[in-house]
Amino acid sequence: MKFDPASKIQDLLQFGEFGGVNPSITDSATYTFLQAKDMLDTFHGETEDYFLYSRHWNPSNKYLAEAMATMEGTENAWLTASGMAAITNTILQLCNTGDHVVSSITTYGGTFAFLNNYLKKFNIEVSFVDITDLDSVEKAMKDNTKLIYTETMTNPMLQISDIPELKKIAARYDAKLVVDNTFTPMMVAPKLHGADIVVYSLTKYVNGKNDLVAGAVCADNDFINSLIDLNGGSSMLLGPVLDPLRSSQILKNMHTLHIRMKQHSKNASYLANKFRSAGIKVTYPGFEDDKGYKVFTKMLNKEFGYGGMLAIDLKTTEKADLFMEMMEEQGVGYLAVSLGYFKTLFSCSGKSTSSEVPEEIQKRIGMSEGLVRFSMGLDNDIQRTWNKIEYCLKELNLV
């Protein structure tokens, strides 16, 4: 049976305290108990539907967590104050000193820095691999490997991870498969293809407004409960709690996510084909000759298309900078990091969101210094947008 995340979110009935069509926003930091025993039992994790302190749980975050778990097909979810908090809390919960991690070498710059630099404090070793080369992944595994970490669609190279095959490798070593699905909500449900834990930056597509920072961890009850365990949970003890007001905002925006993802994908596909026709080197996983196309199609919820991300190669940073500056002047969108916004965003990845990745590694993975990553907006007339882009290309003699 087809997994329909949009309908599952639509079916959620989450009323406000006084019958409001939107759930109430709970702005309490602490919660009262009518019986002392209930407080004690809650401290011991032996109660349900009791709230103790908002760093642990609060009703507003519960509503959004329910929606995220529903969208991803997981038992539960947990919210964090940023996508990086979701990633780091998950990894720290799974790993101890002396453990080993296998990670995609193409990944968000902040994630790369955490894995490559920060985990050294704890003597946690990380092996970086081409995640699309399954033999390399297998060879990197060790007896003390605790997890394989990847992104469904990697940032910024737009490679596609074969989640079912990666799960097989992880299972052989009793390791967890952790997948960042930030680029592909509703398009792919990693849990249904074998991922043990799915992490998100909700800042991006899920919220869609670039007006807040938030993250999520979607997993089974056991893992979520371990994250928020009062005595040993990384999320409970490190304290990256999401503000309830922000939870309420994201929850409302989730109900339009299915519409937005379709338009993002439609626009990206259109421009990717226009760039290719103009002779510009372009990476888009919706091209049938893209290396990841078959794998992506196998996992894809096809009604949402092949995503709103694309990348072009203008060879040099100088050309990329001039092009982006002119596009902003012409009203194509904004020269800015991040993605999933209703306006188009573009940046030179090697000098921005992947700047934490050393230049020698950028070259090794094929990241050109002139790579411009596009997060396509919700433009109603995409031909009009292309006209502006084409003008910039011609003015700068790029075509």
- Identify the band that residue 353 occupies on the pLDDT scale cut at 50, 70 and 90: low
- Identify the band that residue 47 occupies on the pLDDT scale cut at 50, 70 and 90: confident
Would you kindly state where each structural domain of the chain is located, as residue ranges?
Answer: 5-254, 257-395
Q: CA dihedral in degrees (174, 76, 187, 290; nearest 10)? A: -20
Q: What angle do CA 184, 185, 188 make, to 5 degrees?
A: 70
User: Bigger pLDDT: 311 or 366?
Assistant: 311
Spatial neighbors of 143 by CB under 8 A, at least 6 apart, are 173
Give 3-state DSSP helix, strand, coil % of the chain, rounded to 5.
40, 15, 45
With a pLDDT cut of 70, the percent of the chain lying above it is 98
Token pair listed for 269: 């596909």
- In this prediction, residue 191 carries a pLDDT of 98
How many whole angstroms separate alpha carbon 85 and alpha carbon 81?
A: 7
- Identify the band that residue 1 occupies on the pLDDT scale cut at 50, 70 and 90: low
* pLDDT tens by residue, 194-203: 999 999 999 9
For 364, the 3-state DSSP assignment is: helix
DSSP 188: -
Query: What DSSP string runs through 56-118?
Result: T--HHHHHHHHHHHHHHT-SEEEEESSHHHHHHHHHHHH--TT-EEEEESS--HHHHHHHHTG
- Identify the band that residue 258 occupies on the pLDDT scale cut at 50, 70 and 90: very high
- In this prediction, residue 155 carries a pLDDT of 94
Instruction: Determine phi and psi for 240, rounding to 5 degrees.
Output: -90, 55
Buried b (16+ CB within 10 A) or exposed e, 351-383: ebbbeebeeebbeebebbbbbbbbbbbbbeebe
Instruction: Determine phi and psi for 107, rounding to 5 degrees.
Output: -155, 165
Domain at 257-395, CATH homologous superfamily: Aspartate Aminotransferase, domain 1 (3.90.1150.10)
Instruction: Determine phi and psi for 344, rounding to 5 degrees.
Output: -70, 135
User: Bigger pLDDT: 27 or 103?
Assistant: 103
In terms of Cα–Cα distance, which of 188, 116, 177, 171 is closest to 148?
177
Above 90 in pLDDT, residue 365? no
- In this prediction, residue 352 carries a pLDDT of 61
DSSP 47: -
* pLDDT tens by residue, 70-124: 999 999 999 999 999 999 999 999 999 999 999 999 999 999 999 999 999 999 9
How many whole angstroms separate alpha carbon 145 and alpha carbon 170?
A: 9
Q: Please return the burial class of 42, using the count of CB atoms within 10 Å of its CB with bins 0-12, 13-18 and 19+.
A: buried
- In this prediction, residue 19 carries a pLDDT of 85
How many whole angstroms separate alpha carbon 75 and alpha carbon 373?
A: 34
How many whole angstroms separate alpha carbon 264 and alpha carbon 100?
A: 37
**Greatest Cα-to-Cα distance within the chain, rounded to the nearest angstrom:** 75
- Identify the band that residue 354 occupies on the pLDDT scale cut at 50, 70 and 90: low
- Per CATH, the number for 5-254 is 3.40.640.10
